[in-house]
């Protein structure tokens, strides 16, 4: 039995920490908003710590799922000295690859292992324990953390050294951006052509156009409902770090940059907290003819 700590009980972290409680390990959580941690403790057997430093004391593995690079630095760097040597830090936050490399160096100084482990699958994936986890770090640290993460994952893969997980997540977001925009344009085209978009998907959904986004979002997109999954604000954060990395490695991202502009327009029409499939609403509102 291992002692585990989980820092960050947001949309993803809340259910992920809950799944850890079913593994037979001891789980202690911390969240910057204390009432969220208290609500979590009312439905899960884990303990709530009063501070991040208290949560990580004595933990064998510390999991974090925070917001952005500054959030991770603010929470993680001050607690590294409180973690025990030989423990492992697993960061599920989607961040820059540079931050992952920075954390790998900082943890090594304290004789702590590190895995950057961003996830894909959205809120539903977290709730159902069906996330895809892309990892970077040393093989030995991955081998220790992987069986524990299995409780909320359908797929876990080590992609290389520290930062490789974040780079793989960037590829994931590049692909999603293009697919969602294509689906939005297709469904909007169907509506303009006088077709029932749901019936169109029934006709084409088993062919080459099929995608996870089509399977899971076509109905809500047709209905104009965007309260599912990953928010536009967070997608733009992910695309920002992706485009910054592309500037450094020379990879052209013309479609990704264009879709990022479209998401900015979604924010401007009030959709900052809508899910990423709201690209279709941009088409409807900006070209309502």
Q: Residue 120: how many CB atoms within 10 A of its CB?
A: 18
- In whole angstroms, give the CA distance from residue 196 to residue 222: 9
Beta carbons of 121 and 101 less than 8 angstroms apart: no
Active site residue 169: yes
Beta carbons of 15 and 126 less than 8 angstroms apart: yes
Inter-axis angle of helices 212-223 and 164-192, nearest 10: 50
- In whole angstroms, give the CA distance from residue 75 to residue 256: 30
Each residue of 158-181: b (16+ CB within 10 Å) or e? bbeebbbbbbbbbebbbebbebbb
Q: How far is CA 246 from CA 118, 227, 249, 253, in A?
A: 18, 30, 5, 7
Q: Which of 84, 154, 157, 169 is catalytic?
A: 169
- Give catalytic residue positions: 169
């Amino acid at each position: 039995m291992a002692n585990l700590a989980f820092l960050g009980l947001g949309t993803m972290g809340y259910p992920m920490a809950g799944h850890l409680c079913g593994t037979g390990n001891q789980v202690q959580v911390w969240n910057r908003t204390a009432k969220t941690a208290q609500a979590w403790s009312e439905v899960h057997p884990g303990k709530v710590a009063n501070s991040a430093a208290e949560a990580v004391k004595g933990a064998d593995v510390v999991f974090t799922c925070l917001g952005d690079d500054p959030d991770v630095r603010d929470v993680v760097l001050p607690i590294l000295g409180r973690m025990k040597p030989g423990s492992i830090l697993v960061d599920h936050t989607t961040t820059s690859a540079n931050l992952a490399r920075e954390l790998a160096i900082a943890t090594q100084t304290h004789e702590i292992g590190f895995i950057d482990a961003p996830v894909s699958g959205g809120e539903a994936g977290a709730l159902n324990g069906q996330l895809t986890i892309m990892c970077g770090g040393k093989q030995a640290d991955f081998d220790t953390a992987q069986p524990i993460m299995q409780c909320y994952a359908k797929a876990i893969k080590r992609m290389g050294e520290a930062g490789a997980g974040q780079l793989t997540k960037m590829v994931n977001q590049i692909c999603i951006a293009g697919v969602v925009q294509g689906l939005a344009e297709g469904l909007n085209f169907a509506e303009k052509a006088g077709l029932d978009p749901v019936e169109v998907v029934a006709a084409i959904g088993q062919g080459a156009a099929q995608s996870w986004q089509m399977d899971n979002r076509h109905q809500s997109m047709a209905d104009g409902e965007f309260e599912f999954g990953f928010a536009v604000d967070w997608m733009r954060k992910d695309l920002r770090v992706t485009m910054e990395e592309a500037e450094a490695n020379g990879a052209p991202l013309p479609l990704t940059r264009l879709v990022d502009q479209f998401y900015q327009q979604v924010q401007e029409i009030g959709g900052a907290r809508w899910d990423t499939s709201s690209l279709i609403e941009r088409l409807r509102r900006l070209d309502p003819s």
